[in-house]
Each structure stands twice: as C-alpha cells, then as structure tokens.
Amino acid sequence: MRFVVRFPLLLSVLFLLDWHTAYADTLLLTNGDTLTGVVVRLEKGKLTFRSAKSGVVTVKVGDIGSLTTDGVVVLELKDDRVFKAQLISAEAGQFTAKSAEVSAPFSLPLTEIQAINPGPQPDFVGSISAGLLRPPVAADDLVVEVLRHEPLVALLPVTHPLATQINLELTDLREEPFIGYPSSPPSSVYQAVTSACRQAGFSPQVRQEVAETSSLIALVAAGLGVALAPASVRHLRISGVTHRPLRGPAQATVPLAVAYQKGPVSPLVRGYLETTRAVLRSQKQPSPGPSFRPEEPFLPDSI
C-alpha cells in the first residue's frame, strides 16, 4: 500500500540534480505542444521531463511525438544493452542517435528503448504504518479516518480575463483547456473535478495530466490551461497564477484523511495520529477565496 503525505504536516522536496541541466532538450507531444528543458528519465512507459516554465511533467510514451536531447543520455534497450548517446532527431517513433561507442549515427525505434537515464532501485524495504491520503481507498486492512473536506478552487494564469473576477461559476470554464490530475489510475481529485464539471453540464477538456500539484500550478502559470485543485494549494507560492473560489449551490470538495493499519497501534503511531488530528482539526478549514489586506484592496496576483 502506498501512502501520499501532503503539506503542511510533511513536505517532501525532491532535488533533481543532473549534470546536464544546462542543455536544452526538446519534447514534442502528439497534441502539438512543445516543451524545452531536460530529460530526467524514462521508465515504465512514462517520461519525466523538467521544463523551466512548466516544472516537472510526466508524459506517457504514447503521447511522445518527438524527443531530441542537446546532451548525452543513458539509453537502456530491451535487449539489456546500455550505452550513452545523444538523440539528434526523431520522426514517427524512429530516433536517430549518435554515440562515441558507435562510429556513425544510427536509427533506434522508441519501442526498443527500455529506459532513459534509469534511476537506482529504491533501498526502502518494509511497510508504512500511517499516512495522509485522499479517499476513497479500497483496502480492508486499513482504517481510513476523514479529518477535513477541502473545497475546490479554480486556478488561472494571472493574465486570464477571468482573473479579474472575485469568484467564478464552474460553467465559466466550460470552453477552457484544463490541466488535470492523472486519470489512469484516476486520482481522487481527478474524480472530484470530473464529477463537478459533469454536474455543471460539461466535460473538462484536459490538455495535460500531471501527478504533482506543483507541476500543475506551473503549467497554469505558463498559460497552458486552467485547473481545479483543493483550496490548500494557496500554500504553494508560484508566481503567475491566481486562485478563485467557485460559487454555486453545491460546492465541490475533496476529503483529506489519515490512514493506518488495523490492529494494535504502537505508541509511536498513536502519537503521530493524535498530533495529526490535533493539527488538522484545530486549523480553520481552507478558505476557497482570496484574502485581502487593508493596504492591498485589489485581487492578489498569485496564490
């Protein structure tokens, strides 16, 4: 069972330290979007790509139209061969690469690549006793205790025409491209967003899916679309994006719960649970609306 621990109780910071960050790799998606940045890795059918404007983005291999690298990457093929090469061109799933280990450029089908810059295997072996997550969870061996419900808010680029409004109807976003959370497998926030939009009479036009909230906000800030997210995203201070509450008779919310294994609870886990309950229940429920200071009577330009 994998638990997701979220801000503010525990904030995990991932430093992607890569010696070739100065290079400008180019990723062209099948929908026509182009990203410039650095290939982090490709594993298990998904490419992780870091862009200065969009942050860290995860893309399915089937959504890659073209990929070229400005520097050398490590290629691991399905026949277990591993070598360093630069991807210099790509067309229809066929890559042209050059390597110091091969005398001339060579062609390489994307389907033959097992991994790019494969990462080390995790050292952690064991189980997790407790953690924070977004229900629902289908696990008979867990106790899932909902601690709060967060309203969804709309995330907009600060230059978006709707950013001048204090609050929005969900139908105001009907024609907008969306940045969304993963649909396969569907996350709880994805399900809440999809359900809310359908109740409003439309299906969101999802342009890009990302697993990390920080990446979702960065893509919105880059002007690639709008998004719906839990109101606690206001804690992530990324310039270029603003949040607006949604008005309407039925406000969409997403739950936040603590989960732990059934059976005897150790003193350490019991202490964690008591602290978690006390902190979350003592805090004021996240407000979906922007806050105003007397010296700043205008709408804030970022969350």
Q: How far apart are the first and last CA of the chain?
A: 33
pLDDT at 286 (0 to 100): 52
* Local structure of residue 135 (DSSP, 8 states): S
d(CA 299, CA 164): 7
Percent of the residues in the chain that have a pLDDT greater than 90, as a whole number: 23
What integer best gives the mean pLDDT of the chain? 78
Predicted confidence (pLDDT) at residue 18 exceeds the cutoff of 70: no
Q: What is the mean pLDDT of residues 87-101?
A: 77
Q: How far from chain centre, in Å, is Cα 171? A: 24
3-state SS, residue 59:
strand
Please tell me the predicted confidence (pLDDT) of residue 37. Answer: 87
pLDDT tens sequence across 275-285: 998 887 776 65
Asked whether the predicted pLDDT for residue 135 surpasses 80, the reply is: yes
Q: Show me where the domains of the chain are located.
A: 25-116, 130-282
Rounded to whole angstroms, the maximal C-alpha distance in the chain is 69
| Element counts in the chain: helices (H) and strands (E) | 3, 18
pLDDT at position 1 is 40
Q: For residue range 218-275, what is the model confidence (pLDDT) as tens digits?
A: 889 888 899 999 998 887 778 889 999 998 766 788 998 999 989 899 999 999 999 9
Q: How confident is the model at residue 208, as a pLDDT?
A: 84
More confident residue, 9 or 265: 265
Q: State how beta strands 168-169 and 241-247 pair.
A: parallel
Whole-angstrom Cα distance, residue 59 to residue 27? Answer: 10
139-198 pLDDT tens trace: 788 899 998 888 999 999 999 999 999 889 999 999 999 999 888 778 889 989 999 999
Kindly state the tokens that stand for 80: 């277990």
- 3.10.105.10, 3.30.450.90, 3.40.190.290, 3.40.50.620: which CATH number matches 130-282? 3.40.190.290
